[in-house]
Amino acid sequence: MDALTAWLEKYILPIAGRIGAQKHLVALRDAFIGTLPATMAGSVAVMLNAILRDLPPQFFEGYDGNSIPVISQIIAINGYVWNGTLAVAGLIFVFSWGYNLARAYGVNELAGGIVATASSIAGITFSFAGEITGLNLDQSTIDAININEAGWTATATGISATGWGWLPLNNLDSNFFFTAMIIGFVSTVIYAKLMLANITIKLPDTVPPAVSKAFASIIPATVAIYAVSIFYWAFSLIFPGMTFLAWLQETIALPLLGLSQGFGAVILATLFVQIFWFFGIHGPNVLAPILEGVFGVAQLENVNLFQEGGAELVIAEGYNWVRGSFDAYAWFGGSGGTIVLIIALLLFSKRSDYKTVGKLSVGPGIFNINEPLMFGLPIVLNPIMFIPFLLAPVVSVSIGYFATIWGLVNPVSQQVAWVTPPFLLSFLATGADWRAPIVTLVAFVASFLIWIPFVIAANKMDPALGEEEMKKAE
């Protein structure tokens, strides 16, 4: 362990330090950290609703938290918190990104955040349209549909729906991050360069500073937003009917759609999830066509087989690795198995910032919510965390995969809420196979051992430890 830590300090930390000093990456890191108040509040809301609404049905048949007084009100309040935090996490991030990027260039930070937000949101679809034909509707149904004001119209043979002014939440949540990184960066840099070139509206010194700063930003901000809007317009000509955000997700996900049950395919899916997450992109969301469309379908088949003939039929005719297998054996605490990182931080980190984030992340981590850790530590674009964040899930998946195909544990055959705590999740997901938590524990320990030397090495990157320790790290 000491030899590995020394190797990391000698070869990895200097590289990480140089990467960490790059102003654009520093701005991006600070942008993610800046979202922590919102992501933490949203994570607490999700955690509470998991305890009150999502987990009890796994144990008590007929339980419905939404019908229980007081509990239903708490669930509703948590829903509002989620609406304003994780549901629009990408929107919060893009403002933070523009703000911190403008600060890195030494120009008006508030205007930078506004420019990044306006430019990024300009490319989101604001309308929808759909049509169903070949129907045979009676007049009462037609009247009931036509009386509404939501854009629905009906005739005797069909229904059409059109609307404008809609911002889909799946365009504003974590799916928005990658688009925001690109568009927010380009627009804010254009704005900052024009500001630094002094292409601004100048007002007399007698004008209040707030007014003067706002007017100075008008020309650079207008040019930046127009530049991005021209790009969106050109993009719409090349790819009609598709937004830039949708195009990015499709071009990332489609090449991976042929994945199957082989070990290489499972590892490849795991790696891509981790790589996307490292760059702040919600890996499971981006790879949903594979995780849900391939592994998810396999899981449904296992569920059906279990209903017909129990675990024996699943073993004989079912799939070894399904969507829930990732949750059971690799994503304890969230994508990447980050609950083991929390433990490593609490035991081995000497950095006050890391330990504080670790303590705050314990509660959400138990329910597999790792946004506070991803964006608060952050793991995102943190070079010292890249190797273990990539390696630990690969090892965990390998342990779970081979334990399953060698018959050491039953395949996952149940749909279990993803917020179910580790160990209990694998136990329930495998149809109450007592061996599953043991396999999870082995994967847990292996991941923990991978994280330890990197957490120890990260101690050397903390300026608060003093100049002497920093010199030793060099």
Contact partners, residue 380, CB within 8 Å, separation at least 6? 29, 32, 277, 278, 279, 280, 374
What confidence score (pLDDT) does residue 402 get? 94
Q: Indicate if 112 and 144 belong to the same structural domain.
A: no
Does the pLDDT value for residue 271 go beyond 50?
yes
Domain extent, residue 67, equals 35-84
- What is the rounded CA–CA span in Å between residue 442 and residue 445? 5
Q: pTM to 2 decimals?
A: 0.66
Q: Average pLDDT of 106-110?
A: 92
CA 240 to chain CA centroid, Å, is: 28
Does the pLDDT value for residue 112 go beyond 60?
yes
Q: Indicate if 382 and 410 belong to the same structural domain.
A: yes
What confidence score (pLDDT) does residue 255 get? 53
Q: Indicate if 74 and 213 belong to the same structural domain.
A: no
235-257 b/e (C-beta count within 10 Å ≥ 16 → b): eeeeeeeebbbbebbeebbeebe
What confidence score (pLDDT) does residue 264 get? 84
What confidence score (pLDDT) does residue 429 get? 83
243 occurs within a structural domain: no
Higher pLDDT residue, 195 or 335?
A: 195
User: Is the bond preceding 378 in cis, omega lying within 30 degrees of 0?
Assistant: yes
Q: Indicate if 67 and 137 belong to the same structural domain.
A: no
47 occurs within a structural domain: yes
Report CA-CA distances (Å) from 104 to 98, 147, 173, 191, 411: 10, 54, 25, 13, 50
Query: Considering all CA atoms of the chain, what is the largest pairwise distance in Å, rounded to the nearest integer?
Result: 83
Task: Give the confidence band of 397 by pLDDT, cuts at 50, 70, 90.
Answer: very high
What confidence score (pLDDT) does residue 73 get? 92
Does the pLDDT value for residue 71 go beyond 80?
yes
Does the pLDDT value for residue 464 go beyond 50?
no
- What is the rounded CA–CA span in Å between residue 210 and residue 132? 53
Residues above pLDDT 90, as percent of the chain: 23
374 occurs within a structural domain: yes
Burial label for 197, CB within 10 Å (0-12, 13-18, 19+), is: exposed
Task: Give the confidence band of 47 by pLDDT, cuts at 50, 70, 90.
Answer: low
What confidence score (pLDDT) does residue 377 get? 80
445 occurs within a structural domain: yes
What confidence score (pLDDT) does residue 471 get? 45
Q: Indicate if 43 and 18 belong to the same structural domain.
A: no
Q: Average pLDDT of 198-212?
A: 80
What confidence score (pLDDT) does residue 318 get? 79
Structure tokens at 242: 């598709």
Q: State the total domains in the chain.
A: 4
246 occurs within a structural domain: no
244 occurs within a structural domain: no
Residues pairing with 402 in the sheet: none
Does the pLDDT value for residue 30 go beyond 70?
yes
271-284 b/e (C-beta count within 10 Å ≥ 16 → b): bbbbebbbebbbbb
* Per-residue model confidence as pLDDT tens digits over 126-141: 777 777 777 777 778 7
Q: Is the distance from CB of 246 to CB of 288 less than 8 angstroms?
A: no
Q: Is the distance from CB of 417 to CB of 58 less than 8 angstroms?
A: yes
Q: Is the distance from CB of 283 to CB of 274 less than 8 angstroms?
A: yes
Does the pLDDT value for residue 45 go beyond 90?
no
* Per-residue model confidence as pLDDT tens digits over 377-396: 888 777 788 889 989 999 99
252 occurs within a structural domain: no
What confidence score (pLDDT) does residue 230 get? 95
- What is the rounded CA–CA span in Å between residue 28 and residue 102? 11
Residue 332 amino acid letter = F
Q: Indicate if 336 and 301 belong to the same structural domain.
A: yes
Higher pLDDT residue, 281 or 96?
A: 96
What confidence score (pLDDT) does residue 220 get? 93
Candidate from 60-64, 254-258, 288-292, 359-363 with smallest mean pLDDT: 254-258
Q: Indicate if 414 and 446 belong to the same structural domain.
A: yes
Q: Indicate if 342 and 455 belong to the same structural domain.
A: yes
- What is the rounded CA–CA span in Å between residue 436 and residue 284? 23
250 occurs within a structural domain: no
Q: Indicate if 262 and 396 belong to the same structural domain.
A: yes
Q: Indicate if 133 and 212 belong to the same structural domain.
A: no
What confidence score (pLDDT) does residue 110 get? 92
Whose CA is closest to 75, among 55, 92, 89, 59? 55
Mean pLDDT of the chain: 80
φ, ψ for residue 470, nearest 5 deg: -65, -40
Does the pLDDT value for residue 372 go beyond 50?
yes
Q: Indicate if 429 and 323 belong to the same structural domain.
A: yes
Contact partners, residue 283, CB within 8 Å, separation at least 6? 272, 273, 274, 275, 276, 277, 335
What confidence score (pLDDT) does residue 469 get? 42
User: What would the DSSP string read from start to end of 30-86?
Assistant: HHHHHTHHHHHHHHHHHHHHIIIIISGGGTSTT--GGGSTTHHHHHHHHHHHHHHTG
Q: Indicate if 420 and 449 belong to the same structural domain.
A: yes
What confidence score (pLDDT) does residue 473 get? 41
Structure tokens at 289: 């066509």
Candidate from 85-94, 217-226, 340-349, 373-382 with smallest mean pLDDT: 373-382
Tell me which range, 144-153, 254-263, 313-322, 400-409, is most confidently predicted by mean pLDDT.
400-409
Q: Average pLDDT of 20-32?
A: 75
* Per-residue model confidence as pLDDT tens digits over 294-309: 777 677 677 767 756 6
Candidate from 26-30, 87-91, 112-116, 403-407 with smallest mean pLDDT: 26-30
* Per-residue model confidence as pLDDT tens digits over 226-270: 999 999 999 989 988 788 877 876 776 555 444 556 788 888 888
Q: Average pLDDT of 435-454?
A: 92
Does the pLDDT value for residue 272 go beyond 70?
yes
